[in-house]
Amino acid sequence: MWLGTYERAYPRARVLVEGLRAAGVDVVEHHRPVWERRRHKAGLGPLALAGSAARWAGAWAALAPGALRERPVDAVVAGYPAQPDAAPAWLVARARRVPLVVDMMISLADTLAGDRAVAGRAAGALLAGVDRAGLRMADLVLADTAAGADWLSERFGVPRGRVAVVPVGAEPQRFPPAPAPPGPPTALFYGKLAPLHGVATVLAAAREPGVPPVRLIGDGQLGPWLEAELARDRPPGLTWERWVPYERLGAEVAGAAICLGVFGTSAKAARVVPNKVWQAMAVGRPVVTGDTPGVREVLTDGAEGLLVPPGDAPALAAALRCLAADRALRERMGLDARAAYLRGGTPAAAGAALRDALAPLVFGR
């Protein structure tokens, strides 16, 4: 049972539910939307938080009776973002006497007080307590990389054996393979403009001579900064579109010759492999991204793309020039990226990893 106010529209939930079903697991969903109402979650004011809390309470008033009446299930999953739903989902799981799975793909404290720096020390301590409580309730915790799983274990004291690595992956229907685009190469960067993405590094690299045109898509925490920077000194050929519907992202990736990942220098940035990296791999595009422990679990430098030191704009510019000048290299790396996606990033691969992690809990009962 996938239960709660998780972001149903976010790729994480869709990939895992589709993958479990592909692996022969029957999945029922009990969901009410709360967090989908805001595109950008960072920096919510008191009124917005109060409104979200009220909607969350109303959602659970409707969810709990249906979840308790549902036919027998073998596990309850609090989907991403799991922290708001961990406690009520735990109550449902215990009432039904089945294990609780918590998808702790991100830590609230690490994200809001660390990477995004929008919460102070006191708020960060409170968020860490919320993270810790959700983790302790879980019989199984989900992380998206081994680096992330190790960090959760070290930071919050969760036994490593209770943390399963299930990759983010990408939806093949939204990001089908596509031939390399004709014409001069362009690079694509998209995301919510959080510090983790390293947009300042991308902008500095785009200003260097010989770099192919860069297309930026997205908005968020650093949107005002980016607007001011482009007004001051816009790199030649750079375009910025504040938002593109998710349904159009596959076409955007297919239209690019090179796709960019994340270049932030935070500890969190070193542990993640974001959606856009998997999505680029699914389409068959070479990826240029920061060289981190998380990324090294998925990409090999010189095979599926090029890895550069995080925050190093000259290195990023050099990688872009290298790929822009060699179409055969781009096509070969794109094929390798697609093959790596088929091995580990499809819904079937993610679903199989989750099914295998669940099996000892389910059959152990």
**pLDDT value for 37:** 63
Q: How far apart are CA 52 and CA 37, in angstroms?
A: 9
Tell me the DSSP string of 306-335. Answer: EEE-TT-HHHHHHHHHHHHT-HHHHHHHHH
pLDDT tens digits, the chain, 365 residues: what are they?
999 999 988 899 999 999 999 999 999 999 999 987 665 554 455 677 788 889 999 999 999 999 999 999 999 999 999 999 999 999 999 999 999 999 998 888 888 777 676 777 888 888 889 999 999 999 999 999 999 999 999 999 999 999 999 999 999 999 999 999 999 999 999 998 988 899 999 999 999 999 999 999 999 989 999 999 999 999 999 999 999 999 999 999 999 999 999 999 999 999 999 999 999 999 999 999 999 999 999 999 999 999 999 999 999 999 999 999 999 999 999 999 999 999 999 999 999 999 999 999 998 87
Cα dist. 169→11, 101, 193 in Å? Answer: 8, 19, 21
**pLDDT value for 86:** 96
Query: How many helices and strands, by DSSP H and E, does the chain display?
Result: 14, 12
The half-sphere exposure of 112 on its side-chain side, counting CA atoms within 13 A, is 20
Which structural domains are found in the chain, ordered by start?
Answer: 2-169+346-364 (3.40.50.2000), 187-344 (3.40.50.2000)
Tell me the DSSP string of 34-90. Answer: SGGG-S--TT--HHHHHHHHHHHHHHHHHHHHHHHHSPP-S-EEEPSS-GGGHHHHH
**pLDDT value for 8:** 87
Q: How far apart are CA 56 and CA 234, in angstroms?
A: 42
The reply to whether omega before 65 is within 30° of 0 (cis) is no
Q: Which helix (H) or strand (E) holds 258?
A: strand 258-260
Q: How far apart are CA 195 and CA 279, in angstroms?
A: 20
Tell me the DSSP string of 117-156. Answer: --S-HHHHHHHHHHHHHHHHH-SEEEESSHHHHHHHHHHH
Angle, in degrees to the nearest 10, between helices 275-283 and 327-344 = 110
- What is the residue type of 277? V
Q: How far apart are CA 278 and CA 169, in angstroms?
A: 5
Check if the beta carbon of residue 305 is closer than 8 Å to that of residue 278.
Answer: no
Contacts of 211 (CB under 8 A, 6+ apart): 187, 205, 235, 317, 320, 321, 324
Whole-prediction pTM: 0.93
Burial label for 224, CB within 10 Å (0-12, 13-18, 19+), is exposed
Residue among 34, 40, 43 nearest 83 (CA): 34
